[in-house]
Amino acid sequence: MNSDGFPLWDQKRVKRYKELGLWENETFGEMLTRLARIHPDKVALTWHGQHLTYAELNHRVERSAKALLAFGLKQGDKVIVQLPNSFAFFEGVFALFKIGVLPVFCLPSHRFHEISHIAMHVEAVAYLTSEKRTGFDYVSLAHEVKESCPELVHIFSFDEMDGLVETGQFEGETDLQVKVDPDSYAFLQLSGGSTGLPKLIPRTHNDYYYSVRRSNELCGINEESVYLAVLPVAHNYPLSSPGVLGLLLGGGRIVLADSGSADEAFQLIEKEQVTITALVPPLALVWLEAVKHRKEDLSSLQVIQVGGAKCSAEVAKRIGPAFQCTLQQVFGMAEGLVNYTRLTDSEDKILYTQGKPMSEYDEIRIVDEHENDLGLNIAGELWTRGPYTIPGYFKADDHNRKSFSQDGFYKTGDVASVTDDGYLIVQGRMKDQINRGGEKVAAEEVENQLLAHETIFDAAIVAIPDDYLGERVCAYIILNKSFTIEAKEVKAYLRSKGLADYKIPDVVHFVDSFPETGVGKVSKQQLRQAIVQKVLMNN
């Protein structure tokens, strides 16, 4: 780790990745400048029926970049970015890339609890947010966070269509004079995590750019591609697998949706002639139902990606025939490794595996509990290292010692097996995390909040299987003697603590004791395992 809290890449591997031509030494800021020169008049973004060409996008980005510099932002600063799928997201993020300031990608669903912690941890100096947004007042949230975070001095808000509100005076022709090192860290992503609050995942321009370029090759992205973004684009999957960055790099067009609703999405697919989109399994189920009775012409669709959580073979089987297109399973993680089924794979592979690592330089190990390598087709914990997998989290020494091996493998916490021809099948999970239809909930984070409540003696958060979301969040609670509280009060309490909505337990059970494990003083982990067993037996 360097003195700023960033993990160090192994320089021998860096040298190799460069010699092999994997790391190409172009930053994302330079990428946009180049694309705006190559095809200035091609539409890059479509949103709410409006279009932005590559040149227009680059112009807005440069104007914002100059404004952000004038406000005192400097290379290496970190900035909270909480922007919905909108022109503003691209304008803000690329402006930061161009001046070497690191966006910290928060999701629209994050609230005070998550963002204030993150802002403090990274010592964020600014917050990019959006002015008009129905349903939730994001600007007020930004002010609340600013009050609790001494380093945070600027809140920049974007008007939905017109861009950064503060930029007016920064038009002009002067070039941006900032040189950004492609080996430097470009941004921070949030990990779903399994302990406490989210960990921060630092990605360099070089490593991330390679993953985007390689994704484009495997997903067939070119200038004719039209990508519908229905998931929040700040998430690693719609951002880079190949996602919106892939579409820009490939010279294609991005169509931004406000939600994943079939109503909105199907109309956009027909109107904008969308060729590819990315879904999580619950959305795929909703679309499969909707397609039965909707009339839109969806024949432009060539590929539907499903990832973020396991797509059951039963659901996978229905997607190709229902949408007359190719299904691609995507098993990835913001820490790096992404696996894809290939577009030309046999049906067996597409339906029954979660794909193959995207790079021949991804290193995979499947290990048992003693960290011994297991053979093919035997399930164990998946470890990985490679040209776009992080060497560590940001400022998290203790956690890094647990999550990374001495020689730099990331211990994913996923249980998987590898087939004879190198495809991964995800079998389950070791980490204490609930995957609620692609949204990740760390059990410990919610438990810690519950334990702080005066009526609660002990709490365990477990996953309950669910046909629609895959898993839902269930809280088992033991109350302090002579206290009572209702389930809805527990949920309201968590909400008042500023927890994101998807982390609020779907089900709350009050019990007198946790299942006996017979080991004297029992650990939380054993308790959870016992409860999971009980839940599974009752299902």
Residues lying near ligand OOB in the complex (CB under 6 A) are found at 191-192, 236-237, 241, 307-310, 329-334, 338, 354, 412, 414, 426, 429, 435, 440
Nearer to ligand OOB, 46 or 241 (CB): 241
Nearer to ligand OOB, 456 or 499 (CB): 499
Least CB distance from residue 191 to ligand OOB, whole Å?
6
Nearer to ligand OOB, 237 or 514 (CB): 237
Separation CA 533–CA 539 (nearest Å): 10
Secondary structure (3-state) at 122: helix
Separation CA 512–CA 503 (nearest Å): 24
Measured in whole angstroms, how far is the alpha carbon of residue 19 from the centre of its chain?
Answer: 30
Nearer to ligand OOB, 236 or 400 (CB): 236
Amino acid at 436: R
Nearer to ligand OOB, 435 or 449 (CB): 435
Separation CA 42–CA 430 (nearest Å): 46
Separation CA 155–CA 142 (nearest Å): 7
Least CB distance from residue 435 to ligand OOB, whole Å?
6
Separation CA 60–CA 163 (nearest Å): 7
Nearer to ligand OOB, 375 or 428 (CB): 428
Nearer to ligand OOB, 204 or 435 (CB): 435
The residues, ordered by sequence, that sit 6+ positions from 162 with a Cβ below 8 Å of its Cβ are: none
Least CB distance from residue 281 to ligand OOB, whole Å?
8
Separation CA 414–CA 354 (nearest Å): 12
Among residues 59, 26, 54, 30, the alpha carbon closest in space to that of 40 is found at 54
- Backbone φ and ψ of 390, nearest 5°: -65, 150
Determine how many CB atoms are found less than 10 A away from the CB of residue 24. 14
The DSSP bridge pattern shows strands 410-418 and 303-307 to be unpaired
DSSP 472-525: EEEEEEEEPTT----HHHHHHHHHHTT--GGGS-SEEEE-SSPPP-SSSSPPHH
Least CB distance from residue 493 to ligand OOB, whole Å?
26
Asked if residue 207 lies in contact with residue 338, where contact means CB atoms within 8 angstroms, the answer is no
Nearer to ligand OOB, 176 or 415 (CB): 415
Nearer to ligand OOB, 241 or 326 (CB): 241
Least CB distance from residue 305 to ligand OOB, whole Å?
8
Nearer to ligand OOB, 163 or 243 (CB): 243
Nearer to ligand OOB, 422 or 515 (CB): 422
Q: Please, what's the b/e burial string for 409-431 (b: 16 or more CB within 10 A of its CB; e: otherwise)?
A: bbbbbbbbbbeeeebbbbeebeb
Separation CA 318–CA 205 (nearest Å): 38
Asked if residue 248 lies in contact with residue 275, where contact means CB atoms within 8 angstroms, the answer is no
By Cβ distance, which residue is nearest to ligand OOB?
Answer: 332
Least CB distance from residue 109 to ligand OOB, whole Å?
13
Asked if residue 369 lies in contact with residue 349, where contact means CB atoms within 8 angstroms, the answer is no
Least CB distance from residue 330 to ligand OOB, whole Å?
5
Least CB distance from residue 192 to ligand OOB, whole Å?
5
Separation CA 301–CA 321 (nearest Å): 12
**Three-point CA angle 315, 293, 232, nearest 5°:** 60
